[in-house]
Amino acid sequence: MTEQGRYAISVDVGGTFTDFVLFDMDSGSTVAFHKVLTDSERPARAVMQGWAELLEIGGVASSQVEHAVHSTTLVTNAIVERRGATTALLTTQGFRDVLEIGIEQIYDIYDLFAPYPEALIPRELRIDVPERITRDGEVVVPLDEDAVRQIVRDLAGQGVESIAVSLVHAYRNPEHERRIGEIIREEAPDVTVSLSSRVAPLVGEYERTSTVAADAYVKPTLRTYLNDLMEQLRGLGFQRPLYMMLSSGGISTADSAMEFPIRLLESGPAAGGFAAGFYGSLVGQPDLLSLDMGGTTAKACLIENGQPDVAHMLEADRAHRFMPGSGLPILTPTVDLIEIGAGGGSIAAINTLGLLNVGPRSAGSDPGPVAYGRGGTEPTVTDANVVLGYLDPGYFLGGRMSLDRDGAARAIQEKNAEELGLDGIDAAWGIHSIVNENMAGAARRHIIERNRDPRNLSVVAFGGAGPAHAVAVARILGMREVIVPLGAGVASAIGALTAPMSLPFARSYMTLLEECDWSQVGQLYADMKSEAEQALKTAENLNGEVWYQMAADMRFAGQYHELRVELSEGVPDESRVPEIIDAFHASYSEVYGRIPPGMKVEVLNWHLTAVAPGAPFNLAHQPEQDIDISKALKGEREVYFREPEPGYRSIPVYDRYRFVPGMKTDGPCIIEEPESTIVVPPGSSVRVDGYLNVVVGV
């Protein structure tokens, strides 16, 4: 074991696998990649197992790890699977049903019985509190503190573990919410508290309440998990802070994440978007599409100027995966991506119309695909890829796990082929093709809705299953090339290492620009900056290098939807009104194509993001050489393609770890690394660039 050196570790807990990366901070090289199956019941156990194995592979001690970043699906899973804490909601008298009333808008106007996800907090635990504050922040009904104390005692006696507080207009005046928080801590110190005026101090009664309810629902679970994990890591000799990947694409300390756990809702996918932006910038392509296909789902994200787009809110636990409005609204910045029900574990079944359907149901890691041999009985995308020869049954996870090809073939034959009247091979090809079309269709819509042409973009493909499907998806979309980074199967973990420290803050102050009280705006930004400085105190390696990005949510007066507009550096004041209006008009014109004349501009929310550089992460570049790719040849394998004619053929299989910059070849071929497999069909070309990316010309 080496005694010197500085290292960074990234851990990404996914629905099927937990991924690890060990990076040498001095040399700029990756030391080791690793994967273990996710333990859905005790995720910390898989993290500790993989951490110990990773350090053993790399010959590194935990005490040499100076930077560690963690992304996780724990928050998402707790909400989707309804495995959070017993949670209560305290709200203004008369407003206990806001979680079910919502915005009284049906997301599907042709379905009067359109389902919605069940509220996270049952009605009997949603309690009225005597108080009232106006939209201007004036107290019209004082808070009844004695009533609050009795309510809290009763809730604690019922076994409530967490309490969400969301009072009407608390975003304007948080006085009553703060006092309720103090009372809860006095009367029930073991109960966790989430205040809407801290979690999401924004206008929008339903959305704000939904957000704070979700935050409170997952807070005890995340706190228990992180405290347990950090204690075990300290036992291994790791004494540094643990950083967490946020949905917005930055990282924060574990303490901050435990205070606002809802910010981790899209933690893993956000890391994937940053990985794509990082690799695109390396090769001089700042505009591209990231395609992250893992064991459970696939995610697509548009990258512009080297950065993923960020949305101001998202929906969790949608009743219909692709229907906006069918989920729980969460007011937290998040990388703007589309989730597709397509992963290696996506189940292939015959639908009510007698047609083959793939996803969104997934076999996950337990029992997993039939080929895993862990009790799965329903055929999946992974099973189809094994039958088609794309995956080597003896080299899955680098040979640490064997796949049952015969079992996969039987499952496809019995559950799919016989019902369709097809040969088993044709059914396997159908599964593979359908999932490609599903991903391409979702990605096309995601790109076009953002006024971009997919034909002008390249794809960065990663995730355990992404490289096996990316070239086919790119062909459907008319794209020019696919970039597959080294360690593609764990690229989301790599992305977390590239992310900066980033903490988002927001305040609501609704006003017409021409009537704005700029002293109040200045006070809002001063409060947000103070909160940011407090949150950053526990972070290391900042060196005083913190900068602030400012933005505002704006619309024309009378409109319902707003746009996020970036503001130039410095707290906005009256002298910058023309500049702010011009920035809004430019954003509005880009989205809608025209500016309505004579309309006044209104601001709803003011945003501040504190940004500090993360740990240094740079990959070493190597000169390209004229070396025959045959030096990386592992052998040949029978693989099925449909062109130029259907059938299996023997094609070369290359070891990705033997590649050096400058190697080239043409398809068809298979390129393997322990974490993923690249399928290069006939008619495509392959080259290895100076960063060891495999670039496939579609």
- CA distances, 166 to each of 91, 117, 198, 376, 616 (Å): 5, 20, 10, 44, 40
Q: Tokens representing 459? A: 């794809």
Closest to 427 measured CA to CA, from 445, 439, 443, 415: 415
Lowest mean pLDDT among 145-149, 334-338, 405-409, 439-443: 334-338
Task: List the structure tokens of 560.
Answer: 């319902």
**What is the Cα–Cα distance from 549 to 551, expressed in whole angstroms?**
7
Structure token digits, residue 285: 């392509």
pLDDT band at 540 (very low <50, low <70, confident <90, very high): low
Q: 394 or 474: which carries more pLDDT confidence?
A: 474
Q: What is the pLDDT of residue 32?
A: 83
Residue 658: the pLDDT is 94
In tens, the pLDDT along 611-653 reads: 887 666 777 788 898 899 999 999 999 999 998 889 999 999 9
Who has greater pLDDT, 244 or 490? 244
Question: What secondary structure does DSSP assign to 346-368, as a single string?
Answer: EEEEE-TTS-EEEEEEE-TTTT-
> How far apart are the C-alpha atoms of 275 and 489, rounded to whole Å?
12
Rounded mean pLDDT, 2-19: 79
Phi-psi region of 570 (alpha: psi -120 to 50; beta: other; left: phi over 0): left
What are the tokens at 21? Answer: 């990366």
- Residue 379: the pLDDT is 92
CA distance 121 to 123: 7
Q: Is the pLDDT of residue 2 over 60?
A: no
| Tens-place pLDDT, residues 251-264 | 888 888 999 999 99
Q: For 361-388, what is the mean pLDDT?
A: 87
Q: What is the pTM of this model?
A: 0.83
Distances (CA, A) of 273 to 280, 300, 495, 584: 11, 8, 7, 26
Is a pLDDT exceeding 90 seen at residue 551?
Answer: yes
Q: What local confidence, expressed as pLDDT, does residue 322 receive?
A: 66
Q: Is residue 689 within 8 Å of 482, Cβ to Cβ?
A: no
Residue 189 has pLDDT above 90, yes or no: yes
Predicted local distance difference test score (pLDDT) of residue 309: 81
Q: Which of 4-8, 25-29, 406-410, 417-421 has the lowest mean pLDDT?
A: 25-29
Mean pLDDT of 46-65: 89
Check if the beta carbon of residue 40 is closer than 8 Å to that of residue 364.
Answer: yes
Contacts of 554 (CB under 8 A, 6+ apart): 562, 563, 565, 580, 584, 601, 602, 603, 604
Sign of CA pseudo-dihedral 31, 37, 40, 44: negative
CB atoms within 10 A of CB 59: 12
Q: How big, in percent rounded to 5, are the helix, strand and coil portions of the chain? A: 35, 30, 35
| Domains of the chain, first to last | 7-79+224-263 (3.30.420.40), 83-218 (3.40.50), 266-309+341-499+623-698 (no CATH), 501-612 (3.30.1490)
Checking if the pLDDT of 685 tops 80, the result is yes
Judge whether 471 and 480 are in contact, CB under 8 Å.
no
- How far is Cα 426 from Cα 85, in angstroms, rounded to an integer? 47
- The DSSP bridge partners found for residue 628 are none
How is the beta sheet containing 192-195 ordered, strand by strand? 126-129, 87-92, 162-166, 192-195
The mean pLDDT of 370-394, rounded to a whole number, is: 91
Q: Tell me the angle at which helices 405-412 and 424-448 cross, rounded to the nearest 10 degrees.
A: 80
Confidence class for position 496, pLDDT limits 50, 70, 90: confident
Report yes or no: 150 and 157 within 8 Å, Cβ to Cβ.
no
**pLDDT score, position 614:** 66
Cα separation of 318 and 327, whole Å?
4
What is the reported pLDDT for 683?
Answer: 93
pLDDT digits 0-9 by tens, 93-141:
999 999 988 887 788 888 878 888 889 999 999 999 999 999 888 999 9
**47, containing H or E segment:** helix 43-58
* Distant-in-sequence, close-in-space partners of 108: CB < 8 Å, separation ≥ 6: 114, 320, 323, 326
- Peptide bond before 360: cis, by omega within 30 degrees of 0? yes
Mean pLDDT over the full length of the chain: 88
Tokens encoding 671: 């390129």
Chain centre distance of CA 473? 21
Burial class (CB in 10 A: 0-12, 13-18, 19+), 569: exposed
Q: Is the peptide bond before 682 cis (omega within 30 degrees of 0)?
A: no
Name 548's Cβ contacts closer than 8 Å, sequence gap at least 6: 529, 532, 569, 608, 609, 610, 611
Length of the chain: 698
Q: How many whole angstroms separate alpha carbon 337 and alpha carbon 282?
A: 22
335-359: pLDDT as tens digits:
888 877 778 888 888 888 888 888 7
User: Between 210 and 544, where is the model more confident?
Assistant: 210
pLDDT at 321: 66
Two tokens, residue 122: 């049952």
pLDDT attached to residue 446: 86
Q: What percent of the chain has pLDDT over 90?
A: 46
3-state secondary structure 278-335: HHHHHCCCCCEEEEEECCCCEEEEEEECCEECEECCEEECCCCCCCCCCCEEECCCEE
User: DSSP letter string over 558-593?
Assistant: T-S--EEEEE-SS---GGGHHHHHHHHHHHHHHHHS
Supply 192's token pair. 């966790």
Does residue 66 have a pLDDT over 70? Answer: yes
Question: CB–CB of 268/73 below 8 Å?
Answer: yes
DSSP SS3 for 445:
helix
Cα of first residue to Cα of last residue in the chain, in angstroms, is 43
- On whether the CB atoms of residues 217 and 85 are closer than 8 A, the answer is yes
- Hey, is 691 helix, strand or coil? coil
